[in-house]
Amino acid sequence: MADSSVQERLDKVRRAIEDAARLANREGDEVTLIAVSKTHPAEAIVPLVEAGQRDFGENRVQEAAAKWPQLKARHPDVRLHLVGQLQSNKADEAVALFDVIHSVDRSSLITALARAADKAGRRPDCFLQVNLAEEPQKGGCTVGALPGLLGEARDAGLPVIGLMCIPPADLEPAPWFALLAEHGRRLDLPALSMGMTADYPTAVTIGATHVRIGTALFGERATT
């Protein structure tokens, strides 16, 4: 049975998503809630699974490989999302582990993922990560590179379903979410991975289809 405090946190986030969606004349079930479980052990994840959560996110391939194979064996309907940066040399492991990859951002990674997908016989859904503010410390392609990268990914057979962004930490996020949504419309990519604990209701009102929530569900992250 799910821990009552876990259930309460999950219900609170789901209600906030539904309320934000209603403001934008959307349905709450149009938004996929991804519980970002990075740095949290399997014991912290299981109560959320038992409470009905089915989409989880991890930042690192190595960390996910240490805890998720057993969890997914017990809960095969869980979908695992890679929401952190991916090195090309980890493409084989990522394709084997993850159902969705949110951080495709360069040609070399597209090549590695396509090769890994061919080898594994499975193709995770992909988001192209866009570095809208061109922050040097963040991953993501530039806006100018986006159309070409999308063409490369499609030519390689990767199922690109949408765009992902992480707005600058010190600025109002709404304009960045709106900009990502505009690029999504222009490229006919309907899925938008945007919004975290601090700003996900705003993201939902602007069109987010996937929100990545860690702290509101798990509490403060353990330090590594």
Indicate whether 224 belongs to any domain. Answer: no
pLDDT on residue 149: 98
Domain count, the chain: 1
Domain limits at 195?
Answer: 4-218
pTM assigned to the model: 0.95
Per-residue pLDDT reduced to its tens digit, 15-34: 999 999 999 999 999 999 99
Indicate whether 186 belongs to any domain. Answer: yes
Per-residue pLDDT reduced to its tens digit, 179-224: 999 999 999 999 999 999 999 999 999 999 999 999 999 987 555 4
Amino acid at site 19 = D
Indicate whether 24 belongs to any domain. Answer: yes
pLDDT on residue 220: 73
Give bridge partners of residue 33 from the DSSP assignment.
211
Indicate whether 57 belongs to any domain. Answer: yes
Indicate whether 165 belongs to any domain. Answer: yes
- In eight-state DSSP terms, residue 78 is -
What stretches in the chain show pLDDT beneath 70? 1-3, 221-224
Q: DSSP assignment of 84-149, as one string?
A: S---GGGHHHHHHH-SEEEEE-SHHHHHHHHHHHHHHT---EEEEEB-TT--TTS--B-TTTHHHH
pLDDT on residue 182: 98
Q: How many CB atoms lie within 10 A of CB 144?
A: 8
Cα 84 from Cα 42, distance rounded (Å): 19
Burial of 212 (0-12, 13-18, 19+ CB in 10 A): buried
- In eight-state DSSP terms, residue 223 is P
Indicate whether 223 belongs to any domain. Answer: no
CATH of the domain at 70: 3.20.20.10
